[in-house]
Structure 1
Amino acid sequence: MQITVETIVSAPVEKVWDFWTKPEHIINWCHASDDWHTPYADNDLQKGGKFKTTMAAKNGSFSFDFEGIYTNVIAHKLIEYVLADGRKVHIRFEPLGNGTQITETFEAETENPAEMQQNGWQAILNNFKKHAELNS
Structure 2
Amino acid sequence: MSSKKIHIETLVNAPIQQVWDAYNNPDDIKQWNQASPDWHCPSSENDLRVGGKFKNKMAAKDGSFEFDFEGTYTEVTPLNSISYVMADERTADLKFTEQGDNTLISVDFDAENMNPEEMQREGWQAILDSFKNHVEK
- Whether these two folds match at TM > 0.5 is yes
Distance of 2:103 and 2:134 partners within structure 1: 14
Structure 1 position 128, deviation (Å): 0.2
Cα RMSD (Å): 0.3
Equivalences, count: 134
- Give the partner amino acid of 1:29: W
TM-score for both structures, normalised by structure 2: 0.97
Residue 14 (structure 2) aligns with: 11
Verify: 1:115 aligned to 2:127, yes or no. no
Select which of 85, 91, 95 maps to 1:92: 95
Give CA-to-partner distance per residue, 1:8-38, whole Å, 9 cap, x none.
Answer: 0000000000000000000001110000000
- The runs of 5 or more residues in structure 2 that have no matched partner are none
Distance of 2:41 and 2:51 partners within structure 1: 23
Residue 34 (structure 2) aligns with: 31
Residue 103 (structure 1) aligns with: 106
Select which of 66, 71, 95 maps to 1:68: 71
Identity %: 51
Distance of 1:79 and 1:133 partners within structure 2: 22
Residue 50 (structure 2) aligns with: 47
SS for the counterpart of 2:37 is: coil
TM-score for both structures, normalised by structure 1: 0.98
SS for the counterpart of 1:118 is: helix
Distance of 1:132 and 1:73 partners within structure 2: 21
- The runs of 5 or more residues in structure 1 that have no matched partner are none
